[in-house]
Amino acid sequence: MPTDEKQIASVWTRPHRQREQLSREQIVSEAVRLLDAEGLEALSMRKLGTRLDAGATSLYRHVANKDELIELVVDEVYGELEVPDAGDPSHWRTAAGGSAHSLRSMILRHPWIASVLGQVGLVHLGPNVMRMSDRLLAVFGAAGFATDEADQAMSTVIAYVIGMTTSEAAYLSMIARSGQSEQEWMQSLRPAAEQAAQPYPRLQEGYASQRNKDPQKIREDNFDYGLQRVLDGLETRLGRTGG
């Protein structure tokens, strides 16, 4: 006897409903603005409906629940990413590195995304995520990686970016809640940090070396250092496989 198969719950597995008065695109754009302004904890269908001057019932015609809405907003902000064409195979590092920096910038513009990546639905089926993945696979394929390993190389770079930037976004969100600039926050913290480091000469040396540096530049340099080491490893792998 045939058995009923339960459909996977995801906005990407059912038809896109079109409405004249309120579209899915309008809902998603307003949701991104709400998330950027107030964070994930402020997002609700009722609040979003109020901002759109529409009842929550109108939203449910397009989006079944909050999880589906998050799938949509994640894909929306992935549309901001810039992934260069594969082009000259010898320029694959530049293309991969530029894509990584673009992903970092997107997460820092939308810090709420760090807490939902990989947690909700079939985010990977969104058109913007799929477009980004396809273009990145082309970069690593042009470099000389076989199809399966190109996917692994891409996933490694993305995992590095998300891991580093999730912590960075949380740190910046904490500073924003304090009402201080990053420079002011660092200056207020420095005396306590240097005092705590007194028994540890290597930590003292590290704090001293960064005393007059721009904290934003320090973060950018730290991110790029790790990224370049990841790309070094991939480049070494290419050499071993003859790519």
Which tokens hold the place of 168? Answer: 């960075």
Region of poorest pLDDT, from 6-10, 95-99, 232-236:
6-10
- Which residue from 156, 154, 161 is spatially nearest to 136, judged by alpha carbons? 154
**Is the pLDDT score of 47 beyond 80?**
yes
Give the angle 190-36-164 at the CA atoms, nearest 5°: 50
Mean pLDDT within 14-39? 81
How many residues in the chain?
Answer: 243
Which tokens hold the place of 191? Answer: 């005396």
Angle, in degrees to the nearest 10, between helices 92-109 and 215-241: 140
Q: What is the pLDDT of residue 54?
A: 86
How many Cβ atoms are within 10 Å of 78's Cβ, its own excluded? Answer: 21
pLDDT grade, residue 19 (50/70/90)?
very low
Q: What is the pLDDT of residue 16?
A: 57
**Is the pLDDT score of 20 beyond 50?**
no
Mean pLDDT within 206-235? 93
Mean pLDDT within 163-192? 90
Q: Could you tell me if residue 57 is left (phi over 0), alpha (psi between -120 and 50 degrees) or otherwise beta?
A: alpha
**Mean pLDDT for the chain overall:** 87
Predicted structure pTM score: 0.84
Mean pLDDT within 106-127? 81
Which residue segments constitute the domains of the chain, with CATH numbers given?
11-78 (1.10.10.60), 89-241 (1.10.357.10)
